[in-house]
Amino acid sequence: MERWFKELTDKRVRWGTFRRELELIEALKLFMKRYSEVPRPFSWRPTADQILEKVRWNRLNVDLSRTLHSGQGR
């Protein structure tokens, strides 16, 4: 689902100019209609182990960042 919203943002919302809310709504509806005409299945590339390793790495960095910003790491 997150991947779909990234495509929506990258391909339609980010570079669009919408003067009214209705213009944005119509643009979103058209994007969804065209996207659904040629559905593409999403396939996971990373393995479960790769995903878990990335989660561990991110947690370590968040914890380190919290420690440094709280003054405990000085």
Confidence (pLDDT) at 52:
92
User: For the ranges 16-25, 35-44, 52-61, which has the lowest average pLDDT?
Assistant: 35-44
Taking residues 63-67, what's their average pLDDT? 77
- pLDDT at residue 32 greater than cutoff 80: yes
- Positive or negative, the Cα torsion across 7, 10, 16, 21? positive
Structural contact between residues 24 and 18, judged by C-beta atoms closer than 8 angstroms: yes
Confidence (pLDDT) at 71:
67
Structural contact between residues 14 and 31, judged by C-beta atoms closer than 8 angstroms: no
CA 74 to chain centre: 35
- pLDDT at residue 74 greater than cutoff 90: no
Cα–Cα distance measured from residue 28 to residue 59, given in angstroms and rounded to the nearest whole number: 35
Confidence (pLDDT) at 22:
93
Structural contact between residues 43 and 51, judged by C-beta atoms closer than 8 angstroms: no
